[in-house]
Structure 1
């Protein structure tokens, strides 16, 4: 461990295997996964179809560069674009969410011949150069990431319009639902305003669906709740169920040329086999329908716990808001009750991102543990007069 660059705060847990929504550590202890490694696990850990697809592919060919024909890549593009509701869009494949946003921002700048970006307060778009410059967290933005980005409040139409009218904006980038920022979401009116005004001023609209996409919101993409069609859509996290893959869906308004974008590992045979199996399982097991059914059940259960002041988000991209910081609650859930959850920049928000295949019985188990953890953490803090 001493040779690792120490940038991650670590729980003292060592997972060694996982199935469905269950994770097992080296001592054999079982955990319920209600976080999916930042929302990456979409169809469940070690799904048999996924394991077979990856195993079969790696036994044939795992990688070659993008200088040859790759029918699996073509098949993934066709299935993803059709299944997501964008059959006329094209797909560029890369390896991660940050890389997807980096390419989205670069393509927007190529297209408009401009460089200024409009992003939003509490946004998180990644840690590479332009992506991190578009992230509202100065502590992770290095001096070298000196891109022209302005951060505006969600739903502030006047401020957006004031910037668009200056004529120097390349693109607007917005999350379907904010993830790290704390599950905030723009209104339908604001999304539709962005859609119409960016078209009017020749500005590219980028929808960051890296966490909120792939069925997590109850539709394939979260922006589809608002009846808009952005110019570029970035995807990653749930796309490969743990295998590194990302991409951007690109409107037919954009013209491709050789060398415009590129990647060594993006769209390799193994990644595409993994990603295709994810789409096939989401479709065959009706996981988006399951998201909606389980989400309604989860919210009903949450409404019966008085310490939960608000439930934010949609589908299975949810945040439980308390009137106290949740760091100790999250520790108790994992160490005392064997439940993985997540946090956000909003310190009183417990982030919930389980596999899309999670069951109502597992939701019941979660709330039993949550109630006990609340009692363990909160009640001792209540002073007796």
Structure 2
């Protein structure tokens, strides 16, 4: 049976990984500066991660959410401690799209309203309401387009005010650093005014931290660079270091009711073991400190290359923008220099999303290769 052909594929077949590197079937080593869409947070095959998942699967891999699962409680408590999000509650699911879907559903339950405000170049997933809130008509099927979504420009605070004052908006959903859209950010004043408008207009403020969370921005969450308190925070990618896991952090003002949300696989024993290994490693290895140190070093190196016209993002969620499309450049980095990088809807931008364990020597290797390709 052939695979449904929806992915354009590079001719590389990774079969193993260790920390910042992956290896193909011929033993060729690749420097991974993309982390599989920012998923690999603590490095490929980290010993803490391997041990935790192996130990758990040898005992109990799964049972439903109809029973007690102390691992979920342990994960929630650890997440509260490291993130600083005191008094939030955790609902676990399987992916970023699912996290945003549940966030939007919860906002609609809470407010009794159904329209969503999202932003140009935003990406929130490929499921029903999440994809409708995504600024890409090519992936929105007619069944998704039935959702009521208004997409505004970043920094258009007057537009946000006008839409929220109409009284039918249940949620504003926003990435504080856009991922697929190309690492764009709004101003601090914009984020903080949107937050205030949401409070005034009985609208839930959703921080999509699926890609920017778990230390990638230099703080545990990207919204923590600003003076805002989201009603709901969606998380996934780096949360499981490759194991499928997602979730939402829910402000205590939103009351839970039995049956309101649900999932079969979300918060299973293996997912929690993987998630705990990630949090423990971030803490023990001081990876957020490393993010800030390496980010500063990376930006200094990038500024010395005249072909780079703009540096976008924060922490280890960085975009390098050129005045030409970078598709061929990225191919040369992969095939000639064995370095993985990421693309974006902005075809002139390379995305850098490495494991948070990256060192300065790896940054040097990348820039040496980039200079040769340029």
Same fold? TM cut 0.5: yes
CA distance in structure 1 between the aligned counterparts of 2:373 and 2:52, rounded to whole angstroms:
39
CA distance in structure 1 between the aligned counterparts of 2:358 and 2:286, rounded to whole angstroms:
12
Q: Which runs of 4+ in 1 moved over 4 A?
A: none
Find the residue that maps to 2:234 and give its secondary structure.
Answer: strand
* CA RMSD, Structure 1 to Structure 2 (Å): 0.6
The within-5 A match list for 1:71-150 is: 71-145=70-144, 146-150=146-150
The unaligned stretches of length 5 or more in structure 1 are 375-385
Q: Is the 8 A contact 1:101 1:125 kept in 2?
A: yes
CA distance in structure 1 between the aligned counterparts of 2:171 and 2:120, rounded to whole angstroms:
16
Aligned-residue offset at 1:268 = 0.1
Q: Which residue number in structure 1 is paired with residue 189 of structure 2?
A: 189
Q: Which residue number in structure 2 is paired with residue 297 of structure 1?
A: 297
Aligned-residue offset at 1:372 = 1.1
The answer as to 2:319 corresponding to 1:319 is: yes
CA distance in structure 1 between the aligned counterparts of 2:86 and 2:189, rounded to whole angstroms:
25
Aligned-residue offset at 1:176 = 1.6
Find the residue that maps to 2:10 and give its secondary structure.
Answer: coil
TM-score, length of structure 2 as denominator length: 0.99
CA distance in structure 1 between the aligned counterparts of 2:26 and 2:227, rounded to whole angstroms:
49
The answer as to 2:56 corresponding to 1:57 is: yes
CA distance in structure 2 between the aligned counterparts of 1:277 and 1:212, rounded to whole angstroms:
19
CA distance in structure 2 between the aligned counterparts of 1:150 and 1:250, rounded to whole angstroms:
23
The count of corresponding residues between Structure 1 and Structure 2 is 373
Find the residue that maps to 2:275 and give its secondary structure.
Answer: helix
Deviations 1:290-318 (A, max 9, x none): 00000000000001111111110000000
Aligned-residue offset at 1:373 = 1.5
CA distance in structure 2 between the aligned counterparts of 1:22 and 1:114, rounded to whole angstroms:
47
Q: Is the 8 A contact 1:121 1:154 kept in 2?
A: yes
Q: Is the 8 A contact 1:78 1:87 kept in 2?
A: no
Find the residue that maps to 2:91 and give its secondary structure.
Answer: strand
Deviations 1:295-354 (A, max 9, x none): 000000001111111110000000000010000000000000000000000000000000
Q: Which residue number in structure 2 is paired with residue 4 of structure 1?
A: 3
Q: Is the 8 A contact 1:176 1:221 kept in 2?
A: no
